[in-house]
Structure 1
Amino acid sequence: MLVAAAVCPCPPLLVPEVAAGAAPELDAARAACTDALGVLAASRPDRLIVVGPAEQSGRGPFPQGAPGSFRGFGVDLDVRLGGGERNSMEPERELPPSLAVAAWLLERTGWSDAPVEGLGVGEPLAADRCFQAGEGIAGRAGRVALLVMGDGSACRTLKAPGYLDERAAPFDAALARALGAADVTALKALDAELAYELKVSGRAPWQVLAGAAEGAGLAGALLYEDAPYGVGYLVAAWS
């Protein structure tokens, strides 16, 4: 069953080497992510599942040790999910950017508390399939923790990637309330079409979380909420 969850944003700019001179602008977000991962460690999970948005090539499961890279962002930096090396003869698939950021966060906090797996989910994934995936994840072990990666709307300001949309701030505010209260019902009710129009990347991962948390009785805390680049970044911890 699900015993804890952390929700973190997934911009590659969260990695200081990628952000370069702009790195201090996300120091507060990084600190909040560290606190959220501390909640996961304190829950003593048997297994940690990392869920994040992915394009077609980055979907599906990723084993512990799966490689990721920030070379596509001009930085000579490699990561592995959960650290260590893969013990497999199968060809390695590279992590999508959201899971590479998660791998960096786990390495940064020295994660060694439980085996780690990754799951990339597509933005178009229907809500009911997200819920089903979450239910399946919750049943994977006696004590399961989730690290859920995703960004809010990308339309908060004129300079945002999606330009300014007046619906963006209310969407992110409602999302912040839901994540802060561990409100599974509110997450299940997220409007997929509106999320798409607002260029939200985390809708499907958050609804996977909702499916996994159904009936778990977790309490939530919102640790960070801001839109420094016109994109909604939120950090929350459930336990």
Structure 2
Amino acid sequence: MLAAAAVCPCPPLLVPDVAAGAAAELDGLRTACSDAVAVLAAARPDRLLVIGPAGPEEQGPYPSGAAGSFRGFGVDRAVRLGAGDGSARELPPSLAVAAWLLEHTDFTAAPVEGLGIDTALPSGRCAALGRESAAGAERLALLVMGDGSACRTLKAPGYLDDRAADFDAGAARALGAADTEALLAVDERTARELKAAGRAPWQVLAGAGEGAGLAGALLYDDAPYGVGYSVAVWS
């Protein structure tokens, strides 16, 4: 059963070593993410599953102890997802950011595993994966990584798209209200066109949260660098 969930964006710039001189610009976002992880710890879960967007070759499970780094972003900073023997596969960037966040907040409340979600995974399969993950009597917590649109400004990675602000506002409302139906209704094509990598992980969360009776709260909603970032908790 789903006991709690936290939703955080996953830009590598969340890691101060990567952001370097611009690190202070995302201090508010880091604080909100830390607060969200604290909610997961307070729920006393039996297991924490971290999910985040991944490419086709990066999708699938990552055992406790799986390692990642930010060398691809010019920083020799290694991270590890929980304690364990790990695996030969390196964490995708979204899960590496999650691993840093868990280390940064000293999360030790439960065993941690990772799951890379293909950004092209259809909505129905996302929901089914969420339901499967939350099945059973154990108290499951989810840390859901994923960004909104990347098209909020002219300088955004995806350039300006007039649909982006409304898309992000709708996603933020649904995440903040723990509205599983609204999340499952997020259009795959629109999300892809707006480069919203969080769509599939959010819909996995929606499947896991069906019938759980959790209340939501939105802790952060902004678009620094033209990318929609939302932080929310379900508890």
Fold in common (TM above 0.5): yes
2:217 to 218, 221, 229: 221
Q: Check the 8 A contact 1:153/1:199 in 2, yes or no.
A: yes
TM-score by length of 2: 0.98
TM-score by length of 1: 0.97
Show the counterpart of 1:30: 30
After TM superposition, the structure 1 = structure 2 runs for residues 75-114 of structure 1, keeping only pairs within 5 Å, are: 75-82=75-82, 84-86=83-85, 91-114=87-110
Show the counterpart of 2:147: 151
Query: Which runs of 5 or more residues in structure 2 are unaligned?
Result: none
| Structure 2 CA distance for aligned equivalents of residues 180 and 33 of structure 1 | 14
1:175 maps to 2:174: no
Query: Which runs of 5 or more residues in structure 1 are unaligned?
Result: none
After TM superposition, the structure 1 = structure 2 runs for residues 203-222 of structure 1, keeping only pairs within 5 Å, are: 203-222=199-218
Q: Which 4+ stretches in 1 moved above 2 angstroms?
A: none
After TM superposition, the structure 1 = structure 2 runs for residues 166-205 of structure 1, keeping only pairs within 5 Å, are: 166-205=162-201
Give the letter aligned to residue 235 of structure 1. Answer: V
Q: Cα RMSD (Å) of the superposition?
A: 0.9
Q: After superposing the two structures, state which structure 1 stretch, 114-123 or 132-141, moved more.
A: 132-141
| Structure 2 CA distance for aligned equivalents of residues 58 and 22 of structure 1 | 29
Give the letter aligned to residue 73 of structure 1. Answer: F
Give the letter aligned to residue 31 of structure 1. Answer: T
1:129 maps to 2:125: yes
- Report the count of equivalent residues: 235
Show the counterpart of 1:56: 56
Give the letter aligned to residue 33 of structure 2. Answer: C
Q: Check the 8 A contact 1:46/1:141 in 2, yes or no.
A: no
* Cα deviation 1:77-125 (Å, max 9, x = unaligned): 000001x341x6xx51100000000000000011111011100011110
Identity across matched positions, percent: 71
Give the letter aligned to residue 158 of structure 1. Answer: L
| Structure 1 CA distance for aligned equivalents of residues 94 and 136 of structure 2 | 22
* Cα deviation 1:164-192 (Å, max 9, x = unaligned): 00000000001111011110110010000
